[in-house]
């Protein structure tokens, strides 16, 4: 059915496909929410500091 080189190519394709799938799952469930959450926390800190600076200047 398959020659040995075709079999190796098919295995390489499946392994790359599987690695890509799990990488996307990892990125979508951990990395991107962590990145967005950190950005929101930093933005809220900046907003609080701006409000505090306005109150002290007034």
Q: What is the pLDDT of residues 1-35, one digit of tens each?
A: 779 999 999 999 999 999 999 999 999 999 999 99
> Does 2 map to a domain?
no
> Does 12 map to a domain?
no
> Does 54 map to a domain?
yes
> Does 42 map to a domain?
yes
> Does 40 map to a domain?
yes
The domain containing residue 34 runs over which residues?
26-58
**How many Å apart are CA 41 and CA 23, to the nearest integer?**
26
Helix-then-strand count for the chain, H and E: 2, 0
Model's pTM, two decimal places? Answer: 0.67
pLDDT score for 41:
98
> Does 31 map to a domain?
yes
Number of domains present in the structure of the chain = 1
């Amino acid at each position: 059915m398959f020659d040995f080189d075709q079999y190796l190519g098919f295995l390489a394709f499946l392994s790359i496909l599987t690695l890509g799938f799990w990488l996307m799952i990892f990125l979508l469930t951990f990395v991107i929410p962590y990145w967005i959450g950190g950005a929101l926390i930093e933005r809220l800190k900046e907003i609080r500091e701006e409000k505090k600076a306005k109150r002290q200047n007034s």
